[in-house]
Amino acid sequence: MSDKHPAKWGLTPQEMATLPTVFSPDLLSGQRFLVTGGSQGMGKAMVFLLARLGAKVMICGRTEEKLARTKSEVKELLGADISYRAMSIRDTDQVDALLDATFEEFGGLDTLVNNAGGQFPQDAIDFTRKGWAAVIDLNLNGTWWMMQGAAQRWRDRGEGGHIVSNVAHVERGMPQAAHTCAARAGVIYLTRTVATEWAPLGIRVNCVAPGAIATEGLSQYPPEATRRLGNVNPMRRMGSGWDVAEGVVYLSAPSGNFITGEILTIDGGMRMWGTVWPAGVPEHFQV
């Protein structure tokens, strides 16, 4: 994976259809997955891997065109049918409708992957109320409505399930991303709490915590920031959506049967070394 600033970020559909995987082709046969934000980036890599392993997949995102393109690429390259629904996880009515549609179409759900999210880079001191609220609403509230809605349906049907949320590596905080750090820390501690509350219901709850991953989402950042992103861990390169997708499968397949409340960090060691500064390095910190 290149750590330079390419014209287009992320894996191509052809790469996602053919990249090697450690998992066997029938591993997830009959398993039903819902992946939020499955129309690009890490979510799309998850969709390709899940479909290659035999899972039934529903995806969602705000933009219908990107969802439809993903569906047709999966069909064309893998011969598999996935389903989609355009919606925002920030809208509780739309969350309910998505979950109802998924349970109805698939006759249930085995794993919810909370992957949709994002933020903008800014010094915390300059956050507006609206900007703060938008990032918290997307990454903390939206993720929570999905978690709670899935768990309620599993409880009411007397079935168990698995939730894995894509957060971010936030152990050391992240300057110029305090809003997303606060939201992701919230999801991590929701996970660690409901993993216990929901264990009697047969529901496992985990997170994956990526460091810098080359995805289409990075096109929002200037080259100066993305060049730094390729140097923010001891490996001095970015990961790919595939690295995160394989982590999601590990936690969701029988390999994860005894794992709950876990945060699987996939960051090339960024939790030990490297600093992002997505909006630019202040003079005080320049060396």
Q: Which residues bind ligand NDP (CB under 6 A)?
A: 36-37, 39-43, 60-63, 66, 88-90, 115-118, 138, 142, 166, 168, 210, 212-213, 215-218
Positive/negative CA dihedral, 178, 114, 238, 12: negative
Query: Does residue 138 belong to the site contacting ligand 8Z2 (CB under 6 A)?
Result: yes
Which residue's CB atom is positioned nearest to ligand 8Z2? 118
In angstroms and rounded to an integer, the radius of gyration of the C-alpha atoms of the chain is 18
Q: Which does 276 bind (CB under 5 to 8 A by kind): ligand 8Z2, ligand NDP, none?
A: ligand 8Z2
Q: What are the residues whose beta carbons fall under 8 Å from the beta carbon of 5, sequence distance 6 or more?
A: 223, 226, 227
User: Is 28 or 225 the residue whose CB approaches ligand NDP more closely?
Assistant: 225
- Give the CA dihedral 197, 144, 63, 67, nearest 10 degrees: -10
Q: Which does 61 bind (CB under 5 to 8 A by kind): ligand 8Z2, ligand NDP, none?
A: ligand NDP
Applying CB under 6 A, among 16, 58, 212, 244 the residue interacting with ligand 8Z2 is: 212
Distance CA 116, CA 79 (A): 25
Residue 216 contact, options ligand NDP, ligand 8Z2, none, Cβ 5-8 Å cut-off depending on partner type = ligand NDP
The SS3 of residue 45 is: helix
* Cα–Cα distance, 284 to 119 (Å, whole number): 24
By CB under 6 A, what part of segment 79-118 binds ligand 8Z2? 118
Least separation in angstroms between residue 156's CB and ligand NDP is 24
Among ligand 8Z2, ligand NDP, none, partner that 259 touches (CB below 5 to 8 angstroms by kind): none
Q: What's the one-letter identity of residue 196?
A: T
Per-residue binding letters, 147-176, with ligand 8Z2 (x by CB under 6 A): ---------------------x-----x--
What does 89 interact with, of ligand 8Z2, ligand NDP, none (CB < 5 to 8 A by kind)? ligand NDP
**57 neighbors 252 (Cβ within 8 angstroms):** no
DSSP single-letter state for residue 138: I
Which residues does residue 127 pair with via DSSP β-bridges, in sequence order?
none
Does position 248 bind ligand 8Z2 by CB under 6 A?
A: no
Nearest approach in angstroms of CB 134 to ligand NDP is 9
Neighbours of 71 (CB within 10 A): 20
Which two tokens mark 275?
Answer: 């600093």
Minimum CB distance to ligand NDP smaller for 109 or for 266? 266
- In contact, 174 and 239? CB cutoff 8 Å: no
- CB atoms under 10 Å from CB of 143, counted, come to 28
Q: What is the nearest approach in angstroms of ligand 8Z2 to the Cβ of residue 220?
A: 5
Q: Which is nearer to ligand NDP, 28 or 34 (CB)?
A: 34
Residue 249: how many other CB atoms lie within 10 Å = 26
Binding site for ligand 8Z2 (CB under 6 A): 118-122, 128, 130-131, 134-135, 138, 168, 174, 177, 180, 212, 217-218, 220, 229, 276, 278
